[in-house]
Amino acid sequence: MGLSWKNLIYLYLSAGVLCINQVSWLPCRFTDENVTVNEEGHTETQFIHREAMLQFGHRGDAPLNPHAITFLVTASKLDLRRYVEGVEREQLECELRRYSTEGVHVRWPVQAAQEYNHWYRCTLKHSKGLFAITGVLRHPTDQPPTGRQDYRSWPAIGDREILTTTVALVIKTQSPSVRAGLSSQQKLHCQFDLDHRGPNVTVEWHRQHRGEKTRLFSHSSRSGQTQGTGVGLKRLAGGDASYTLPFTKMSSEGTYICSVSVNPLLASLDINLQIEEPPRVSVNVGTNLLLQEGGEQKVVCEAENYYPLDVEIVWYEQDPAVSGQRVGAPVPKKLQNVLLSSHKHNNDKTYSVSAFFYLQASLRDSGRQFTCSVSHQSLRVSIRKSFILTVEEPSSWVFYLAVGVTVVVLLVILCAMLNYLRSARKRALRKKPY
């Protein structure tokens, strides 16, 4: 019976299609730390990656993987599994680290809690960036602090040790990465919860960009003081610390940090906000361009007011009769005689650029389709602008005009000659004596 139960457990361990709620375990990478002081008196930290397991259950449960360090998460007010409902195990990335309270010792105010605790930070991320979660795990101990900074005297953890923990603090965002256009309203999601009521909580938002960190919002439940705007205090009382940007500008870009602190713990999450403005694309000719053979036309495709800088403009030509074919259609030919203008930096910090070429009209190109394709990271698909070239032979009115001009010139010459002959005859008559 015992052997069959063990076999069943390992079958569950090998299955990769069940949800975390069903299996109640998650493989994690535990980044351990070995802190030493070198000969010069400086602190050096060596990071050691160790195999670990996040296992949900009850105190005294046997480890599902006896060959790894087991962080056994037992029942408390907080359940990490509630924050990843409906997500498959293989879609989650799990990392565990030690958490330093920087030597601060505070008895954690939950019922039947022991005097001392060791702390660990658990980070869960969706593999496709749908959310990020940070949970602080509390491991009770009867060993008092050594009196030194805790990271200088981490307790050793064996390769197969079981650490019984509970979740003390959770913070989650459903928007770890946000792409926003200019002049839009954005809500940066952040929610938190603790394992006990009535805590003295401080919630803060900061924005960091190019090494400069700016505080946007701060609220302390102990003092009731609030600085800044963007977070609703009514929602904050229920654990919703989401920050609202009412009007995005280029200066809104950066990393936004949502942090929740309850002495001696601090948990935070980074939310990256990237401004992306799609280009406005135009071509200086209409959908049909009529030229005479031998004529020349400068054709310009312009991409305006886009951000960030990188954009690709390509001109193609092809026969429109085959452009709609799904099978066997020839690949459009990329034009090689295309020139790019220098990037223009607009007043709103967006960019503009153009790609142009000189089109020499030839009868053999009549009916060809020319397409400008603009690609940018803000676009799901490229923007395409096309026109069809029609080339005509020189029209007959040019011939008649040439003939008419020739006739007029000949008539002028003839009139001039007749006037000359008339004048010569008059002079001859005057010279006669009779």
> Which of 15-19, 309-313, 330-334 holds the top average pLDDT?
309-313
Domains in the chain, CATH or no CATH each:
18-275 (2.60.40.10), 280-392 (2.60.40.10)
One-letter amino acid identity for 316? Y
What are the helix (H) ranges across 161-289? 233-237
Average pLDDT over residues 321-331: 64
* 176 vs 406: CA distance, rounded Å: 79
Split at pLDDT 50, 70, 90, the class of 322 is low
Q: Which of 14-23, 45-54, 244-253, 294-303 has the lowest mean pLDDT?
A: 14-23
Residue, of 205 and 38, whose pLDDT is higher: 205
Split at pLDDT 50, 70, 90, the class of 397 is low
Split at pLDDT 50, 70, 90, the class of 432 is low
Burial class from Cβ neighbours inside 10 Å (0-12, 13-18, 19+) for residue 71 reads buried
pLDDT given for residue 61 in this prediction = 94
Instruction: Kindly report the backbone phi and psi dihedral angles of residue 401, in degrees, each rounded to the nearest multiple of 5, phi listed first.
Output: -65, -40
Average pLDDT over residues 280-300: 94
Extract the tokens encoding 431.
Answer: 């010279």
Q: For residues 278-287, b (16+ Cβ closer than 10 Å) or e, as one string?
A: bbebebebee
Split at pLDDT 50, 70, 90, the class of 404 is confident
Split at pLDDT 50, 70, 90, the class of 399 is low
Look at residue 128 and tell me whether its pLDDT is greater than 50: yes
Instruction: Tell me the percentage of the chain whose pLDDT exceeds 90.
Output: 65
One-letter amino acid identity for 421? L
Q: Which of 13-22, 103-112, 186-195, 224-233 has the lowest mean pLDDT?
A: 13-22
Split at pLDDT 50, 70, 90, the class of 199 is confident
Average pLDDT over residues 85-91: 89
pLDDT given for residue 398 in this prediction = 58
Look at residue 360 and tell me whether its pLDDT is greater than 90: yes
pLDDT given for residue 385 in this prediction = 96
Look at strands 288-292 and 116-126 and give their pairing. Answer: unpaired
Extract the tokens encoding 199.
Answer: 């805590």
